Chain A
């Protein structure tokens, strides 16, 4: 397969068109980037690399850890004196990395699998990105003993707080009717969401095999494993 012209591929993404006008390399974005102090990450350099439109460089970026460090807070978008939005450029890069199957080449990229598994499955099953039934305390110890207690008494605690947990009719955490969920599924099918999930699943399965893991082992590993290559030592 011939390597696609990656810059042209990026240009198809509206977020890319919105996010990259012309970078002047002033560093305004990096100065306030929450990721730049913590990770080995410099949004300015990413935008500068992309605007050089060099296919090899962009391909390296799509396979790198770097593009997965951004938190999409969009603080960069407020400040750029040229009207760029590095955060949106990142979104386009991530999208293309997944589309082309490059995301399994990096540790942070492989996390697309557990993310898809949790968020998209929740959307399709419960109508919301997050739902109490799939919020496992062991995966969220930072939610604290109070939340452990809450989860142990979910029904009563949610009732105390006026939620309509798993109830009919409107309200917080209500049961979403099957016909509404099937509309969400149809949207996923028609808009490319389902295709995207299948692609992520297929490529992750391949990578899991390569790494000698079952899918559950792979999910758990990618969800939890963190090597120390990511960090900006000076942030410590």
Chain B
């Protein structure tokens, strides 16, 4: 018998879980608040470490979910606990009964304007990682000069920062910065590219090779120091102040463009859904798993499962793996 499984979020986690649940003989119903499937990845350009075109991945995931029920531009209005399952009321008036709910609501990017001293939204040539991906994908962006001579990347924007309200590491930005630094270097071979970092957290498969390549083949400069202040010169360039902590010297450098690596926060809709379904938000601002070693995909509520960045920052392959595992957990739960 085909059973409904509500999946909240149509990004990588939701799509992959839906695909697996279809194959396991269930009836996944994806509720997505935006107007498109594929989440952030559908709007990204290329993915590290193999420079995989992101849209191809998203398209494949969407294609594989053709048979799922999908509601776009739809939000969850309320969730009522039943004796064995949940009644989920959607904003389009549809009411769905389901024994299992998968929260795959993902992350939101830190609003870089809140890191005021970096001048995003104030200075003419300050952009974010997302803006740069859009530009790589072909979008126009007047903030990116035609022939920059110096291009900077600021790591940890809105991550590991008490003042910004997020003390967590966003995990993917170090690699994203290196990836984007190399891509900038490819576009502008004469441009000097700088990465300002506190720690380089390159933990994944081939990440160190990637870093080595950025240094050796691309000549990207890595400066160990957090950017303290950004300002604008009379000719519209970006002036950056940081300390080169390895030599113990304050630095003041001018860039033609500065890219802020905005970090990942738990999606605000995840928090409201958590509230509706009575699962907790953890001290890191993400949803609380049953435990963080063995049952990260399970909530403390029976029938409520997690996949992807709603429980913490994840890379794409980690998210895909979690989605598959969550589908299997749900299948086992429904077959018990």
Contacts and interface: CB of A to CB of B under 8 A. Distances in A.
Indicate if A touches B (C-beta under 8 A). Answer: yes
Interface of A: 21, 24-33, 36-37, 42, 44-45, 78-83, 234
Given A26-B245, A28-B226, A81 B161 contact: yes
A24 B162 CA distance: 12
Contact of B250 (A21, A26, A36): A36
A143 to B, nearest CB: 30
Nearest to B223: A27
A27 B164 CA distance: 17
Given A44-B243, A81-B161, A234-B249, A31 B227 contact: yes
B245 A32 contact: no
Contacts of B161: 81
A32 B198 CA distance: 16
A156 B227 CA distance: 51
Interface of B: 117, 156, 160-164, 198, 224-229, 241-245, 248-251
Given A29-B243, A79-B228, 7 more contacts: A26-B243, A28-B242, A31-B251, A32-B228, A81-B156, A81-B163, A234-B249
B251 to A, nearest CB: 7
A44 B241 CA distance: 15
Nearest to A43: B243
Contacts of A29: 228, 243
Contacts of B163: 79-81, 83
A44 B246 CA distance: 12
Contacts of B164: 81
B245 A27 contact: yes
Contacts of A44: 243, 245
Contacts of A42: 243, 248
A27 B162 contact: no
Q: Which of B225, B226, B248 has the most CB of A within 10 A?
A: B226
Contact of B225 (A21, A31, A36, A80): A31
Given A79-B117, A81-B162, A81-B163, A28 B250 contact: no
B84 to A, nearest CB: 47
Contacts of A81: 156, 160-164, 226
A81 B229 CA distance: 12
A212 to B, nearest CB: 37
B229 A79 contact: yes
A27 B162 CA distance: 15
Contact of A30 (B117, B156, B162, B243): B243
Given A26-B198, A83-B163, A32 B241 contact: yes
Rank and list the top 8 A-B pairs by shortest CB-CB distance, nearest first. Answer: A27-B243, A31-B228, A26-B226, A30-B243, A27-B225, A81-B161, A27-B245, A83-B162
Contacts of B243: 26-31, 36, 42, 44
B116 to A, nearest CB: 10
Given A31-B241, A31-B242, A81-B162, A26 B225 contact: yes
A24 to B, nearest CB: 6
Contacts of A28: 225-228, 242-243
B242 A27 contact: yes
A33 B243 CA distance: 10
A34 B249 CA distance: 13
